[in-house]
């Protein structure tokens, strides 16, 4: 059965480019992004891993740890990282799981037979500090992921987790937010001192609380 939002992210122990890691222990009390790559030495993946490395400061300031998985062995990963560093003008600064037995890929349903019987699709899982899955995205192998969108979603998820707001269509950091229905009208002034606007009883807007 496919993993669903709210499910506990499966734990695993695996060899990585940064040593053996047990996922839940490695994650600790931080948010996590786990994302898969069809294979080593593939062009789109090379650009994605390079971009992830370049965005380390952005992930760090959101308290997010990143880990990638590919179904090739560790020695292949080590050589591929050299290529990524060279071609993308960066240094890979996060672990890359060697999943040659496809244990992690199968745990997270990253292999879709309609796409390939052995290579992973481009899956993304955002996982909260409670180890529960907050977001899933699946791309075809030919389409590189938009990491600005992944960061935007993390910002939105953290606003909901910490400030009781949701984000409207096309929201960008700094934009007005939606007060979640669980917040009672009488509690709004104390919880949202920047003010709010009632468009409909179910649609109440407020400036972004953490800006």
CA distance linking residue 129 with residue 31, whole number of Å: 5
What SS3 class is residue 38?
coil
Contact 206, 164 (CB under 8 A): no
CATH 3.40.30.10 domain extents, the chain: 13-145
Q: What average pLDDT does range 146-165 have in this prediction? A: 97
Q: Considering the domain 13-145, what is its CATH architecture?
A: 3-Layer(aba) Sandwich (3.40)
Q: Does the active-site annotation cover 177? A: no
- Quick: pLDDT tens for 46-102: 999 999 999 999 999 999 999 999 989 999 999 999 999 999 999 999 999 999 888
- pLDDT, residue 170, reads 97
What superfamily would CATH give domain 164-206? Antioxidant, Horf6; Chain A, domain2 (3.30.1020.10)
Is a pLDDT exceeding 80 seen at residue 1? no
Task: Locate 92 and state its tokens.
Answer: 């890979």
CATH 3.30.1020.10 region(s) of the chain?
Answer: 164-206
Among candidate residues 27, 33, 45, 154, the one labeled active-site is: 45
pLDDT tens by residue, 16-47: 999 999 999 999 999 999 999 888 999 999 99
The rounded mean pLDDT for the chain is 93
- What pLDDT, on the 0 to 100 scale, is given for residue 119? 61
What whole-number distance in Å separates Cα of residue 46 and Cα of residue 80? Answer: 8
């Amino acid at each position: 059965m496919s993993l669903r939002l709210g499910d506990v992210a499966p734990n695993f122990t695996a060899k990585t480019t940064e040593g053996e890691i047990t996922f839940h222990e490695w994650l600790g009390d931080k948010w996590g992004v786990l994302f898969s790559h069809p294979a080593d030495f593939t062009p789109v993946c090379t650009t994605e891993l390079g971009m992830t490395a370049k965005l380390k400061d952005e992930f760090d300031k959101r308290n997010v740890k990143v880990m990638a998985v590919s179904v090739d062995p560790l020695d292949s990963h080590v050589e591929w990282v050299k290529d990524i560093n060279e071609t993308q003008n960066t240094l890979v600064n996060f672990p890359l799981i060697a999943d040659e037995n496809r244990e992690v890929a199968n745990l997270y349903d990253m292999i879709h037979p309609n796409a390939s019987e052995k290579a992973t699709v481009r899956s993304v899982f955002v996982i909260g500090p409670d180890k529960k899955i907050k977001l899933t995205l699946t791309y075809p192998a030919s389409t590189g992921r938009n990491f600005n969108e992944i960061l935007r979603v993390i910002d939105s998820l953290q606003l909901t987790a910490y400030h009781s707001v949701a984000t409207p269509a096309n929201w960008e950091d700094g934009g007005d937010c939606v007060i979640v229905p669980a917040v009672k009208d009488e509690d709004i002034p104390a919880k949202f001192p920047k003010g709010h606007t009632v468009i409909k009883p179910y649609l109440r807007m407020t400036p972004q609380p953490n800006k």
